[in-house]
């Protein structure tokens, strides 16, 4: 079984550098994929209240027979659950749907600036963490100034910031800010499928050179940068392929070529205007 590297968290402990994204994996089929992924060796599962699949993720975890404390479960507070009291209700509902008594990592899904509730939500997550219902707290899709706002209000930086990130969207300023403040960068959309990354000639050429696939190169690149990557697949072969990211070694020529694929910050979803519920 592939050994997945880990990254250290400012809150203490570690998390796997590679996990399963579950957006779109629902119902019995979703549960079966989660269970298969755990059997294959995945130990990080990324879900969210918004994905309407926490019940399926919980069922997949139980069906797998893998011990609860061997798996890092991430979920996210939905936009409609932001606010001092609503966040508490939202987290309790996530725990109930997952069928677990704690979640390893709970993130604020999007900052949603039009609501102005991100700081209150963050304060409640810190309370819930101190009560033991959530081991580690973080955010998703927060820009540097939005992260700074949370820190200014509470003195605590999120342990993780999950952002849209791949060789097609290298987000250099965002990841530098995260690193400067001890925040682990987690990459959603790490295969860059929205940006057509896997069809890029440069990536295909590097994959051919290493006798592997463009997806493996993209995921390996993320892990090499110190990010956590959470590719989603509903296909058994691709699930396993995405686990084999440590079997290759990119050289400096490969990395220089990959750097040319960055479409720039403007191509990423902008959390000042993009909001999700």
Ligand X SMILES: NC(=O)c1ccc[n+]([C@@H]2O[C@H](COP(=O)([O-])OP(=O)(O)OC[C@H]3O[C@@H](n4cnc5c(N)ncnc54)[C@H](OP(=O)(O)O)[C@@H]3O)[C@@H](O)[C@H]2O)c1
228 binds ligand X (CB under 6 A): no
Output 171 or 232, the one with its CB closest to ligand X.
232
Nearer to ligand X, 55 or 130 (CB): 55
Choices 17-25, 65-73, 124-132, 145-153; region in contact with ligand X by CB under 6 A? 17-25
Among 62, 151, 234, 274, binds ligand X (CB under 6 A): 234
Task: Give the separation between CA 157 and CA 277, rounded to whole angstroms.
Answer: 23
Nearer to ligand X, 136 or 140 (CB): 140
- Told to check if 230 binds ligand X by CB under 6 A, we report yes
Specify the pairing of strand 6-8 against strand 14-16. antiparallel
Using the structure block, give the residue that is written with the tokens 């686990």: 243
From residue 150 to residue 189, what is the string marking binding to ligand X with x (rule CB under 6 A)? Answer: ------------x-------------------------xx
Site for ligand X contains 195 (CB under 6 A)? no
- In the range 107-126, which residues lie near ligand X by CB under 6 A? 109
Among 140, 146, 185, 200, binds ligand X (CB under 6 A): 140
Of positions 10, 119, 129, 241, contacts ligand X by CB under 6 A:
241
Burial letters 43-81, b for 16+ CB under 10 A, else e = bbbbbbbbbebbbbbbbbbbbbebeeeebbbbbbbbbeb
> Is residue 222 within the footprint of ligand X (CB under 6 A)?
no
Q: Is 124 helix (H, G, I), strand (E, B) or coil?
A: helix
Q: How far apart are CA 35 and CA 59, in angstroms?
A: 8
The residue assigned the tokens 């952002």 is: 163
Shorter beta-carbon distance to ligand X: residue 53 or 64: 53
18-26, 54-62, 244-252, 255-263 -> range binding ligand X (CB under 6 A): 18-26
Q: Are 170 and 262 in contact (CB under 8 A)?
A: yes
CB 50 within 8 A of CB 276: yes
Asked if residue 185 lies in contact with residue 163, where contact means CB atoms within 8 angstroms, the answer is yes
> Which of 97, 135, 220, 232 is the binder for ligand X (CB under 6 A)?
232
Please select the residue that binds ligand X; options are 72, 75, 242, 271, rule is CB under 6 A: 242
Q: Is 51 a catalytic residue?
A: yes
Nearest to 203 by CA among 173, 248, 141: 248
75-114 positions binding ligand X, by CB under 6 A: 109
Tokens found for residue 163:
């952002």
Q: E-strand spans in the chain?
A: 6-8, 14-16, 20-21, 44-46, 72-77, 103-108, 134-140, 160-164, 184-188, 228-229
Catalytic machinery residues: 51
Q: Which residues bind ligand X (CB under 6 A)?
A: 21-23, 46, 109, 140-141, 162, 188-191, 193, 198, 213, 215, 230-235, 238, 241-242
């Amino acid at each position: 079984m592939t050994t997945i590297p880990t990254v250290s968290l400012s809150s203490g402990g570690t998390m796997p550098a590679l996990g399963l994204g579950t957006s779109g994996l629902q119902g019995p089929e979703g549960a079966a994929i989660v269970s298969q992924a755990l059997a294959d060796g995945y130990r990080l599962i990324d879900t969210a209240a918004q994905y309407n699949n926490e019940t399926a993720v919980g069922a997949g975890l139980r069906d797998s027979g893998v011990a609860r404390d061997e798996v890092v479960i991430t979920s996210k507070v939905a936009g409609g659950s932001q606010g001092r009291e609503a966040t508490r209700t939202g987290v309790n509902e996530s725990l109930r749907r997952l069928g677990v008594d704690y979640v390893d990592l709970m993130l604020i899904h999007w900052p949603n600036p039009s609501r102005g509730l991100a700081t209150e939500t963050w304060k409640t997550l810190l309370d819930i963490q101190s009560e033991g219902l959530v081991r580690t707290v973080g955010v998703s899709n927060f820009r540097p100034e939005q992260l700074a706002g949370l820190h200014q209000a509470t003195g605590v930086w999120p342990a993780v910031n999950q952002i849209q990130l791949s060789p097609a969207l290298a987000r250099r300023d965002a990841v530098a800010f995260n690193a400067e403040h001890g925040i682990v960068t987690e990459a959603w959309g790490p295969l860059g499928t929205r940006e057509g990354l896997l069809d890029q000639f440069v990536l295909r050429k590097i994959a051919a050179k290493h006798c592997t696939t463009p997806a493996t190169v993209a995921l390996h690149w993320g892990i090499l940068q110190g990010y956590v990557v959470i590719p989603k697949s509903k296909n058994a072969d691709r699930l396993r392929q995405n686990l084999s990211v440590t079997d290759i070694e990119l050289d400096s020529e490969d990395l220089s070529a990959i750097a040319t694929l960055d479409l720039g910050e403007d191509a990423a979803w902008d959390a000042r205007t993009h909001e999700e519920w």
